[in-house]
Structure 1
């Protein structure tokens, strides 16, 4: 693609040992490309997935990397299908390895069906990820997917530092951690990026604390589900829109009663976006990006058109009137239900 066709996206640098890495300020989430739990019924064809990835990378100005977000278990039955897809992509397009920054979550023990950040399981997890990538791309960041309450964060970090020093991956990240945990981890070794859920419907007190701590420490934040699993962009307008096997049927905010109430905030976002000439998804992504210099919205995309729409949102700088209008909508139409469970208190157990 000629330089004149590059999108002049907003860029930022990451944190910790990757503070010199310049990236687009919107992450490309890859989870939906492979049949993961019940989020998607079947894998996306390779050609479609490859086009979606390449379009985002090709749109960037020279020297800017696209952050790709994957996992050891983004495949039906907790398999490495997502990383295997990436290995096929990099085998076909090896030049893209240096133009992307790969985040990989792991640390889940499939046999025990639980988070397991013991030294043995972290080593097993990292090995599984490296095996799935088949030497096509080194993991830029490895991050435990959740904080293991059976291990101290200092013990977890000790293992991660050992693995990093052995050359298994380049940088250390965290996911779904509390602010205090981030500070303790960062004291052991600089954290490059932390992944948490942030959206106009997921802006809880602990999320705000993590954002503040990360900004103070110079740590980047990958803010996943900026569209509340499709609710905020109009993908779901009633319960009947969900396939009976869709995992969102189990999420508190999509349950009968809660969904009807939450459609009010979704409608308000659509109205604001329409008045401003944005798509609802772009408005939500831009709002998340406005929360900090190193806050990177992490929407998923399986199609070229969606990838480019998401990237274009990264060019939007919301003015104060727009932020105020969104804040009023959030106050007027408070979200009903927790991120996963029935209320916010139950969800608090997710913060490690």
Structure 2
């Protein structure tokens, strides 16, 4: 059964989308043959929403992800118009948000030049530029949309206030946010409620808890050298073993249902609202296919209540991402 689309908003987001970040933003890039197999499979299965980023590459080749998409379109021209492409940008090489219209124009022009064979569909501010403010940022994005660089506007890691202020200026097609059993902040800070109220779909990234539920890690040492998650607070020596207890609890529920822990988490995130497009990422075509199959998983009220009880009663330890002021100040801007 093909992956369906979300039923909220004007953008054809797949209920389970395909994140491309891990194919290139890693110590070792995924070989083209393997990446292309994954991308073709996703499209063939109906997961026709691809999520990329201007900066999804390791220095000095920070645009490696866009180049990968370009090579895919060149090798498989019949596929180039079969997927909806969302690209994040609006940050400097130093990862500082910048919503200046000239900076953004240069960046979105470069994105489409690198893609070469097609344009992106949606451009998304990766982090909120607090100096510019939501209104000016949105006005600049509308200018660039009207110039023809992209069709839709998205924002990522935005607060409920920023979402409302942005939507008051122009149409926000999607908001990208972290959401999983390991990160339920959007349920408590008004962000999920704001998106529901405004009818703005959510692209829920890291639905597997940044890998807790998608890998067989037993300790922090199992995380590959050079993987950015080795620096994440939730994976620290201080918190790793405690947080693994949530993995064990969810794995027990998944085994009873006959699904993988990853599939359980993806399906659970998607079940929280009809407007959620779940955004897992993988480098393995077989695992990626398993993720997409989660779109067909449904829960009984008792099953949802059981998962909710586990999630709500477990205190995840550690902050999202790294424990430093710069990173933390960029979240929910």
TM-score (structure 2 length as normaliser): 0.94
Query: What is residue 273 of structure 1 aligned with on the other side?
Result: 254
Question: Match of 1:139, SS?
Answer: coil
Q: Distance in 1 between matches of 2:313 and 2:272?
A: 20
Question: Residue deviations 1:68-97, cap 9 Å, x none?
Answer: 000000011161110110011111222223
Q: 2:90 aligns with which of 98, 104, 107?
A: 107
Deviates more, 1:334-343 or 1:271-280: 334-343
Residues paired across the two proteins, number: 331
1:146 Cα shift? 0.2
CA deviations 1:121-143 (Å, max 9, x no partner) are 11121122112101x12111001
Following superposition, the deviation at residue 291 of structure 1 comes to 1.1
2:109 maps to which of 127, 130, 134:
127
Q: Does 1:183 align with 2:164?
A: yes
- State the distance in 1 between where 2:70 and 2:223 align: 31
Residue 4 of structure 1 corresponds to which residue in structure 2?
none
SS of 1:69's equivalent in the other structure is strand
- Any gaps of 5 or more consecutive residues in structure 1? 1-6
Partners of 2:6 and 2:227 in 1: CA distance: 35
| Alignment match, 1:59 | 45
Between the aligned partners of 1:207 and 1:250, the Cα distance in structure 2 is 26
| Rounded Cα–Cα distance in structure 1 between residues aligned with 2:176 and 2:58 | 22
The structure 1 residue matched to 2:199, chosen from 218, 223, 242, is 218
Mapped partners of 2:127, 2:276: distance in 1:
19
Any idea what SS the aligned residue of 2:81 has? coil
Structure 2: gaps spanning 5 or more residues: none
Q: Distance in 1 between matches of 2:13 and 2:277?
A: 9
Give yes or no for the alignment of 1:87 onto 2:80.
no
Corresponding residue for residue 3 of structure 2: 9
Does the residue aligned with 1:24 lie in a helix, a strand or coil?
coil
Residues 22, 155 of structure 1: CA spacing in aligned structure 2 closer, same or farther, 3 A cutoff? Answer: closer
1:50 aligns with 2:39: no
Deviation at 1:184, TM superposition (A): 0.7
In the alignment, the residues of structure 2 paired with residue 207 and residue 163 of structure 1 have an alpha-carbon distance, to the nearest angstrom, of 33
> Are the structure 2 counterparts of residues 199 and 348 from structure 1 closer, same or farther at C-alpha, using a change threshold of 3 Å?
farther
**Partners of 1:69 and 1:269 in 2: how far apart?**
27
The alignment partner of 1:99 has SS state of coil
